[in-house]
Amino acid sequence: MSTPRDAAARAAALRREIEQHNFQYYVLDQPLIPDAQYDVLFRELQELEARHPELRVPDSPTQRVGAAPAEAFEGVTHRVPMLSLNNAFGDEEVEAFDRRMREALGQDTIDYAVEPKFDGLAVNLTYENGVFRLGATRGDGYAGENVTANLRTIRSIPLKLSVAPTLLEVRGEVLMLRKEFEGLNRAQRERGEKEFVNPRNAAAGALRQLDPRITATRKLAFVAYGVGAADGTPAFATQGELLDYLAANRFPVATERSVMRGLPALLDYYHRIGEARAGLAYEIDGVVYKVNDLAAQQRLGFVSRAPRFAVAHKFPAEEAISEVLAVDVQVGRTGALTPVARLKPVFVGGVTVTNATLHNEDEVRRKDIRIGDTVVVRRAGDVIPEVVRVVMDKRPDNAREFVMPAACPVCGSKVERLEDEAAARCTAGLYCPAQRKQAILHFASRRAMDIEKLGEKLVDQLVENGIVETAADLYRIDAATLAGLERMAEKSAANVVEGIERSKRTTLARLIYSLGIRNVGETTARDLALHFGELDPLMAADEEMLQRMPDVGPVVARSIAQFFAEPHNRNVVEGLRAAGVVYERVSKPPPRSGISGRTFVLTGTLPRLTRDEAKERILQAGGKVVGSVSKKTDYLVAGADPGSKYDKARELGVALLDEDGLLELLGKG
């Protein structure tokens, strides 16, 4: 930008455009541009704010994540109490509620605003002059916790309104969509970590993280359902008008909301939403009825800690009793073994359940689940059936304890469980059919063998059709075989074969990384290549020899030694050699003054270099790149939005570099 005035104008335009796209994507689910184009706009705004820090305003989209971790949450007193709702568990209780409303208001029929009851965490968002200033949890209804930094990470929450009332408190629910919950638990399983019971627990835990960057990774959503204190807003006559006003100001509101007249319409709505419940994008545990007339709400008032004018009509509990007939073990794509209870068929939450996850061996022991037990089964999050607890007084004398197998039930390889992990794992790696697809995708990934055009859908077909069993089989595929697969033309098949052929020449570090050895990332693979120089000495090394290397501890050493102890894995390596895969030795970089042996940490977005490019340049110069700042860190390389690493580096007196400073240091070396 030629002048600061031009920069300010461009930044304002970018902020408006990016927030419009956030609204289209996160609220309406109707994106207007591809993700890559969005990233270009976001990157431009980041770079503009980096050059002109005065443009980095609190309501900028770039500030949704970036606050330093909090030591603790401050207390917040609500201007208007956030009261809970009374519950109705049957049609008779709803009839009694409607009768009370008609008698109190002296009307024959009542109009009710109706919407699903979201199963999340209630929050209050405070806007001053149209700008989001404060976000708090419900707490005890009168005071909650200040979680503003975490709420800023939720992209469906607008940071700035198109209108600017003096004060507006928006009330709603923070929740996790089903698809995000499934993805989170899938990642937890792959890491061998404990899964979340349901989306509500996952959302609540994410919102109360002291580090907002962790909250941001959980992909939370927000749905508005009301207003607290307000000054400078229109005078609303009905609850429906109030929700329409929020929707017009880009707050997400329930698309299933409506206005119903009279008791029969309420019950019809309840049953319709109940039937549609499984297909909704989010968890609900009932529906809410509110007298639609806001003046009537004021006349009806409150009783104890709940409003008289509203009630939550809850769905029945989604638990049932069944019997554990057997416990099988499933092997996931990363080799994690998961015990699964085979159940006597039982109807839970609208479906017949015959299997339920037991998560891992520790959970089986903690709940003391045995084969033959009578158990309580729940559809956790309406997605994953799980065993909640054992009905102990019904345990038969012949109930049998579950024992995790010592050999993989899929390939027969050894099963191991590391001390710091909850999951037991198959050690076969490249050989195990259960891990085959993921192993091949990792092998072909950009940072490994970098085989272009070999995507997930193609790998699925190759494995499912028996064309590829190990990574070595990729080098025996011809274009004619590929062209015969679904959605593969001759040209695209030729491109894949060309990419496979190019990958035959690689480096030892890439080859080691591509094998997918547990606990061996890119940096460790590079260190191993530098230390051993060739693959054969590495394959022959025992745990003691491996631990003589710097930065290789007992866990990593054990993973490497056990991987190469498996004959199947050694056969794959020999298959790669036979197919013509060759590697260049990684030469140790010559010492460079100020760089060799120095430890670098990268943070934020650099103007020109990607994180990978900066890392590679440092490694080539003989430096080390690590992920966190400590007293041993020599340099912090900081770009735009550096976050807490920058603060910690300043606190410890670590030398700070921008991109130009890094390039100058590398140039001097």
Residue 10: give its domain's CATH number.
1.10.287.610
Asked if residue 136 and residue 29 are part of one domain, the reply reads no
Asked if the structure places residue 80 within a domain, the reply is: no
Name 313's bridge partners: 88, 287
Examine the domain organization and report whether 539 and 653 are in the same domain.
no
- Residue 440 inside a domain? The answer is yes
**What confidence score (pLDDT) does residue 27 get?**
60
- 468: helix, coil or strand? coil
pLDDT at residue number 3: 60
DSSP assignment, residue 278? G
Kindly report the number of other CB atoms within 10 A of residue 77's CB atom.
10
CATH of the domain at 562: 1.10.150.20
Q: Whose structure tokens read 């109807």?
A: 347
Residues 304 and 334 in one domain: no
Reading the block at residue 293, the tokens are: 């007339």
Measured over the CA atoms of residue 532, residue 536, residue 538 and residue 540, the dihedral's sign is: negative
Q: Which residue, 379, 401, 423, sits at the end of a domain?
A: 401
CATH number at residue 376: 2.40.50.140
Residues 23 and 126 in one domain: no
Domain, as residue range, for 387: 319-401
Same domain, 396 and 519: no
Looking at the structure, tell me whether residues 299 and 388 fall in a common domain: no
Query: Which of 278, 297, 314 delimits the end of a domain?
Result: 314
Q: Hey, which residues are catalytic here?
A: 117
Do both 246 and 327 map to the same domain?
A: no
The reply to whether 45 and 98 lie within a common domain is no
In a domain? residue 420? no
Q: Is 0.75 surpassed by the pTM of this model?
A: no
Q: Which residues of 21-59 are buried (b: 16+ CB within 10 A; e: fewer)?
A: bbbbbbbeeeeeeeeeebeebbeebbbbbbeeeebbeeb
Please list the alpha-helical segments (H only) found in 479-610: 479-483, 490-502, 508-514, 522-532, 535-540, 543-546, 554-565, 567-578
Radius of gyration of the chain (CA): 29
In this structure, are 555 and 439 located in the same domain? yes
The reply to whether 519 and 568 lie within a common domain is: yes
**What is the pLDDT at residue 380?**
46
Quote the pLDDT of residue 349: 63
Which CATH number characterizes residue 657's domain? 3.40.50.10190
Query: Of 381, 401, 421, which residue constitutes the final position of a domain?
Result: 401
Are 330 and 298 in the same domain?
no
Query: Is 408 part of any domain?
Result: no
In angstroms, rounded to a whole number, what is the distance separating the alpha carbons of residues 487 and 127?
51
Q: Do 625 and 605 meet the contact criterion of CB atoms below 8 Å apart?
A: no
Query: Which segments in the chain show pLDDT lower than 70?
Result: 1-3, 25-31, 35-36, 39, 63-72, 197, 304, 317, 333, 349-350, 379-384, 420, 429-430, 586-594, 668-669
d(CA 567, CA 564): 7
Spatial distance between the Cα atoms of 276 and 266, rounded to a whole number of angstroms: 15
Query: What pLDDT is attached to residue 107?
Result: 94
Within a domain: 424: no
Query: 325 lies in a domain?
Result: yes
In the chain, the number of structural domains is 5
Structure confidence by residue, pLDDT tens digits, 241-289: 999 999 999 899 999 999 999 999 999 999 999 888 878 888 888 999 9
Q: Is residue 418 part of a domain?
A: no
And the tokens for 537? 């000495």
Same domain (yes/no): 114, 55: no
Collapse the DSSP code of 332 into the 3-class scheme (helix H, G, I; strand E, B; otherwise coil) and give the result: coil
The tokens for 410 are 């899929």
State which amino acid sits at residue 388: V
The reported pLDDT for the residue numbered 607 is 85
What pLDDT shows up at residue 346?
86
- pLDDT for 625-651, tens place per residue? 887 888 889 999 998 877 778 888 888
Q: Is 40 helix (H, G, I), strand (E, B) or coil?
A: helix
If DSSP codes are grouped into helix, strand and coil, which group holds residue 364? helix
In a domain, 548, yes or no: yes
Backbone angles phi, psi at 376, to 5 degrees: -90, 125
The 3-state DSSP class for residue 59 equals coil
Q: What is the pLDDT of residue 197?
A: 66
